Amino acid sequence: MPSLFDPIQLGAIAAPNRILMAPLTRGRSTKGHVPQPLMGDYYAQRASAGLIISEATGISRQGLGWPFAPGLWTDEQTDAWKPVIARVHAAGGRIIAQLWHMGRQVHSSVIGEQPVSSSATATAGQAHTYEGRQDFEVARPLTLEEIPGVIADYERATRNAMAAGFDGVQIHSANGYLIDQFLRNGANHRDDIYGGSIENRTRLLREVTERVASVAGADRTSVRLSPNGDSQGVDDSDPAPLFTTAAKILSEIGIGFLELREPGPDGTFGRTDVPRLSPVIREAFAGPLVVNSDYVTAEAAQAVIDSGVADAVSFGRTFLANPDLPERLRTGAPLNEGNFRTWYSQGPEGYIDYPSLESVAAE
């Protein structure tokens, strides 16, 4: 079996190791969702990842309800990404843009309109807004006439991502966001061509992926799914046939890789007793499979690769706090602890000031 430190071909992207940086919302853009130069420092520090998957990045104002998260729907946003990506490339790294429509997981005070979803549903709890947390609102169902416009938003964001210099894109179809709200029958109550059967509920995923791949190239397109358990109130009554069908669709399209976020019963950021579906998805998907959620040690990551289920592992909060994570895993060096208080704050604290092994040795 390959080592965690062996190279891997992820579609068109040659990754020097199998330690990927998972997408991590950090909230360091402007209120207009324009990336800031500080983001170049942050991502360049982590360029030793086999591949960086960027923080979730909005495809439209309608789809981006997280305060200070970046977007990719305007020329200003696109131009501001260019120096950030250039920093990563100059440091020898590779980075793709994760494309995000949050669906109902937003608040009207942020996006300027009623949230949209597959159906008229609401998430329990409260949304992040610029005025603090506010109760989630009932979403309105997207009409059949509106869905082509949403697909066009994904196309525009993909064109902008490639123009900005990203090495590819990832379609965020996980974690209870818009595409996930169409996939899972706990949120999708439609009775048209986008609801009911598995074929219908996977239709939007197929259409978005085909459109994105037509722009970026299938080999520079990837997808993230979260097949097991509840994600922000979005769940399915029979996930195995749903997600194996989705995996087969993505395999037929020929995407560069598929990433799965699969928390376990003892998860530290979401947990579920629903078994992981990666073993059956592995059988349905022909390309590289990347797994994520609560991987911290090299031993745990190597074990899932040795099992044959996964080809690579994406690390989230561990990479957040350890900019040189591949070297720390290779040498067995101790890991920095992350600071939850600064995950979503603005400014450099808890963002670009985590020490590397090299900086510690120089002190």
Q: What stretches of the chain adopt beta strand conformation (E)?
A: 8-10, 13-15, 19-21, 51-58, 95-100, 116-117, 126-127, 134-135, 140-141, 169-172, 221-225, 257-261, 289-292, 312-315
Paired with 13 in beta bridges are 10
The pLDDT tens digits along the chain (363 residues) read: 899 999 999 999 999 999 999 999 999 999 999 999 999 999 999 999 999 999 999 999 999 999 999 999 999 999 999 999 999 999 999 999 999 999 999 999 999 999 999 999 999 999 999 999 999 999 999 999 999 999 999 999 999 999 999 999 999 999 999 999 999 999 999 999 999 999 999 999 999 999 999 999 999 999 999 998 999 999 999 999 999 999 999 999 999 999 999 986 776 777 778 789 999 999 999 999 999 988 999 999 999 999 999 999 999 999 999 999 999 999 999 999 999 999 999 999 999 999 999 877 666
Pairing of strands 126-127, 134-135: antiparallel
How do residues 301-317 score in pLDDT, each as one tens digit?
A: 999 999 999 999 999 99
Interhelix angle 203-216/147-164, rounded to 10 degrees, is: 30
Q: Cα(90)–Cα(83) distance, rounded to whole angstroms? A: 10
Task: Provide the residue count of the chain.
Answer: 363
pLDDT at position 267, please? 65
Exposed/middle/buried for residue 249 (C-beta within 10 Å: 0-12, 13-18, 19+) = buried
Structural contact between residues 160 and 78, judged by C-beta atoms closer than 8 angstroms: yes
Token pair for 27: 């909230």
- Residue 74, classed as helix, strand or coil, is coil
What residues are annotated to the active site? Answer: 177
Residue 228 backbone phi and psi in degrees, to 5: -115, 120
pLDDT at position 362, please? 64
Token pair for 138: 């009932």
pLDDT at position 264, please? 67
Q: pTM for this one?
A: 0.97
- Residue 199, classed as helix, strand or coil, is helix
How do residues 175-210 score in pLDDT, each as one tens digit?
A: 999 999 999 999 999 999 999 999 999 999 999 999
Pairing of strands 221-225, 8-10: unpaired
Any idea what DSSP says for residue 71?
Answer: B
